[in-house]
Amino acid sequence: MLLSIFVNSIVEILGLAVVVPVIGLVVQPETIQTNPTLKSVFDLVAPLGINTPSSFLIALCGLMIGAFLFKALFGLAVNLFQTRFSFSVAHRLSGQMWSYHFSQSLERMRGTDSGRILVEINGWPLQFANAFMVGGLMIVNEISVISVIAMGLLIYNPVVFVSIAVLIGFGALIIRRATKRRLLAYSDIRRQIEPHTNTLITNAVRGFLEVITFRASDAVREAYLKDRWTIFRLASHTSVLNLSPAKLYEVLAVVAVAGSIIIALLQGTPDSGFLELLSFMAISAYRIMPSMSRLNSAVMQMRGQQYVLDTMERGCAHQPKTPHRTASNIEQGAKVDLCVNGATLSYEALDEPVLAQFNHSFSNGKVHAVIGPSGSGKSTLISALLGLHQPEQGAIEVQLNGQETITLGEDLDLHDWILHVGYLSQQPFLFQGTVRDNLTLRVPGAVLNEELVMSLIQKLELDECLGPCPLEFELHEGGSNLSGGQQQRLALLRALQVQRPVLILDEATSALDSKLRDVVFELLRERAAVGCNVILVTHDNELAQRCDDVLDLGTLRNDLFS
Ligand code: ADP
Ligand code: MG
């Protein structure tokens, strides 16, 4: 990368250098004879038929066009190389941010705005690549061009070098003074607002019906537009600030040239040495000033997007935990018992634990009911059984085939454990795609047991709504072209067909009529009959009484707090 930058600046300078003899010859054609280098080149090409001053000049013009064309193409190629590199970094960062967010605890994940997760995975890595990678490389590029010119100037005339250096230093100081604090403040505001505008949209999409039935659409839109307005205003201020270095350097260059002329005039008639000096200053400024303004803009852009850098640093600091042991050796037909041993389950935000020093066991081959009033901790317990909520004290233990006991999170990697549990959440999760996609979650290589799936579709009475080719039936986002009960049954089908040793259902029958509820219960019984450990959270007392045992978290809490 550094080599490409270095070569690019050399090509850039050489390209510019071709202009010098062309202009020199146009102004003073006799240089062909007086300048020894030009004369030897002229003599060298004479045998090729280029033997008059004007044909020599035409050939030089052709060379100039060629050099500029080469310079342009080479510059583009280097740019392509550099941006590809930067965007591959953005690509990796997006992956890193994805892992960072998706390895957080359930509580953290649920406590983070969806809009923030969206922007941190989807938006900011690219912004980082633009501002910090492309920008950083541009800074190196410009510094390398400026250094080559500076070296030339220093050799040619130290006075010109010093005066341009003073000019540039002065400009950089003014720009830094005027913009630093403002840009950092903008960065802070954007860090807050940008994720929030995303959240407003995702929430409004999710709650579309509520929003329109409350006639809240305008209010949400206004809130969104207000935030957007702030962002756009900041963006416009930032773009003006980014232009300011170019303008300032332009003025400074003119001030310097005008100042030198005035000083020279005040001292008497300027001699030809002075004019030469002045024209060199002008040529150097012509190339250095744009470089300086690009350099300053790049630095300012970084400052304005400090928040992106902070976020990426946080994401990159995340190291995936290495598992102590994997659960992949739990075979499909394994009999798994779950034992909650003195577990205390709490949330950072709550003063009291939801469940304190709680003991219970769920044995295989049974259908267990978990009941209790809303807020009694049913879903929290389920999260703990899934390994997504670490107990503050105590542990969740898994017993394999009545023999080996392993502790969740200690001996067993949680992400591996969850692969052995069939789970159905309170809100069925369905997405845009075919029923097949929804059953496999598009995991590469996942194969459906089609015979089992088709028989479940029949038993759950989904055949009518899914039509003649149920697996190819296209769902809308969230499964919104199915009724609530149909969505629940389809999500249940997914949890049933994987045939895992543990099956956990969080209020899986809440949207079903009594006939379908009985069908579902029968299917759960069938799973338990082959050794599955079925845990059913329900509000339906009648259904709970038909299960093999009932855990009532309501009475537990009453005991705890009475
Ligand atoms: P249930 O499923 O029995 O209705 P939950 O397990 O969802 O109840 O919740 C138990 C308690 O924990 C409730 O008081 C609820 O307010 C609280 N709670 C649930 N999730 C969180 C969370 N992410 N942060 C803080 N408190 C929570
Ligand atoms: Mg719940």
In a domain, 62, yes or no: no
Q: If you average pLDDT over every residue of the chain, what do you get?
A: 86
Distance CA 385, CA 266 (A): 89
419 plus 509 within the same structural domain? yes
State the pLDDT at residue 21: 78
Of 359 and 291, which is predicted with more confidence? 359
303 plus 351 within the same structural domain? no
- What b/e readout covers 507-516, taking b as 16+ CB neighbours within 10 angstroms? bbbebbeeeb
539 plus 407 within the same structural domain? yes
Q: Is the pLDDT of residue 98 over 90?
A: yes
Mean pLDDT of 511-516: 86
DSSP labels, 17-68:
HTHHHHHHHHH-TTHHHHSHHHHHHHHHHGGGT--SHHHHHHHHHHHHHHHH
3-state SS, residue 127 = helix
User: H or E segment at 211?
Assistant: helix 208-213
100 plus 199 within the same structural domain? yes
Mean pLDDT of 422-426: 88
Mean pLDDT of 390-410: 86
Among protein residues, the one whose CA lies closest to atom 15 of ligand 1: 375
Choice among 40-54, 384-398, 518-532 with the minimum mean pLDDT = 40-54
CA of 391 to the centre of ligand 2 (A): 18
Distance CA 350, CA 375 (A): 12
pLDDT digits (tens, 9 = 90+) for 481-492: 999 889 999 999
Q: Is the pLDDT of residue 127 over 80?
A: yes
In a domain, 44, yes or no: no
Q: Is the pLDDT of residue 237 over 80?
A: yes
Mean pLDDT of 100-106: 84
State the pLDDT at residue 251: 87
Distance CA 36, CA 321 (A): 71
Mean pLDDT of 357-370: 94
Would you mind telling me the total number of residues written for the chain in this entry? 562
In a domain, 110, yes or no: yes
Distance CA 305, CA 238 (A): 11
User: H or E segment at 341?
Assistant: strand 336-345
Residue that finishes a domain, picked among 285, 317, 349:
317
The answer to whether the CB of 362 falls within 8 A of the CB of 323 is: no
- Best residue for ligand 1 mutational test, from 105, 109, 344, 347 (most atoms within 8 Å of Cβ): 347
Q: Is the pLDDT of residue 326 over 70?
A: no
Tokens at 359, concatenated: 């003991």
The answer to whether the CB of 532 falls within 8 A of the CB of 364 is: yes
Q: Is the pLDDT of residue 38 over 90?
A: no
Question: For the domain that residue 496 is a member of, what is the CATH number?
Answer: 3.40.50.300
Residue that finishes a domain, picked among 317, 348, 366:
317
Tokens at 448, concatenated: 């459906």
When pLDDT is cut at 50, 70 and 90, the band that residue 330 belongs to is low
State the pLDDT at residue 380: 92
When pLDDT is cut at 50, 70 and 90, the band that residue 159 belongs to is confident
Task: Please give the tally of structural domains in the chain.
Answer: 2
State the pLDDT at residue 152: 79
- What b/e readout covers 229-246, taking b as 16+ CB neighbours within 10 angstroms? eebeebeeebeebbebbe
291 plus 355 within the same structural domain? no
554 plus 429 within the same structural domain? yes
Distance CA 304, CA 284 (A): 30
pLDDT digits (tens, 9 = 90+) for 135-145: 888 888 888 87
Residue whose structure tokens are 């045992």: 549
446 plus 503 within the same structural domain? yes
Structural domain containing residue 359: 336-561
Q: Which residues surround ligand 2, an ion (CB under 5 A)?
A: 378-379
Residue 291 CB less than 6 A away from ligand 1: no
In a domain, 464, yes or no: yes
Residue that finishes a domain, picked among 317, 344, 369:
317
306 plus 386 within the same structural domain? no
CA of 99 to the centre of ligand 1 (A): 26
State the pLDDT at residue 551: 94
Q: Is the pLDDT of residue 238 over 70?
A: yes
In a domain, 40, yes or no: no
Predicted TM-score of the model (pTM) = 0.74
- In DSSP terms, which residues pair with 433 in a beta bridge? 475
In a domain, 415, yes or no: yes
Kindly give the pairing relationship between strand 533-537 and strand 367-371. parallel
Ligand nearest to the CA of 354: 1
CA of 535 to the centre of ligand 1 (A): 19
Choice among 202-216, 221-235, 538-552 with the minimum mean pLDDT = 202-216
Distance CA 385, CA 341 (A): 11
The answer to whether the CB of 131 falls within 8 A of the CB of 308 is: yes
State the pLDDT at residue 459: 92
Question: For the domain that residue 223 is a member of, what is the CATH number?
Answer: 1.20.1560.10
Q: Is the pLDDT of residue 505 over 90?
A: yes
State the pLDDT at residue 338: 94
CA R_g for the chain: 36
Residue whose structure tokens are 């009529």: 513
Mean pLDDT of 102-106: 81
Distance CA 246, CA 264 (A): 27
381 plus 512 within the same structural domain? yes
Residues of the chain above pLDDT 90, percent: 33
State the pLDDT at residue 361: 93
Among protein residues, the one whose CA lies closest to atom 26 of ligand 1: 347
Distance CA 249, CA 171 (A): 7
DSSP 8-state secondary structure symbol assigned to residue 134 = I
Q: How far is CA 58 from CA 50, 66, 81, 173, in A?
A: 9, 12, 35, 45
Distance CA 242, CA 34 (A): 47
219 plus 344 within the same structural domain? no
In a domain, 416, yes or no: yes
Shortest-distance atom of ligand 1 to CA 373? 3
- Residues 414, 417, 418, 423: is their CA dihedral positive or negative? negative
* Burial of 446 per CB tally in 10 Å (0-12, 13-18, 19+): exposed
Residue 378 CB less than 6 A away from ligand 1: yes
3-state SS, residue 561 = helix
552 plus 452 within the same structural domain? yes
State the pLDDT at residue 328: 52
State the pLDDT at residue 322: 56
In a domain, 419, yes or no: yes
Choice among 76-90, 104-118, 311-325, 454-468 with the minimum mean pLDDT = 311-325
State the pLDDT at residue 269: 65
Choice among 81-90, 143-152, 326-335 with the minimum mean pLDDT = 326-335
pLDDT digits (tens, 9 = 90+) for 539-561: 888 899 999 999 999 886 555 55
101 plus 165 within the same structural domain? yes
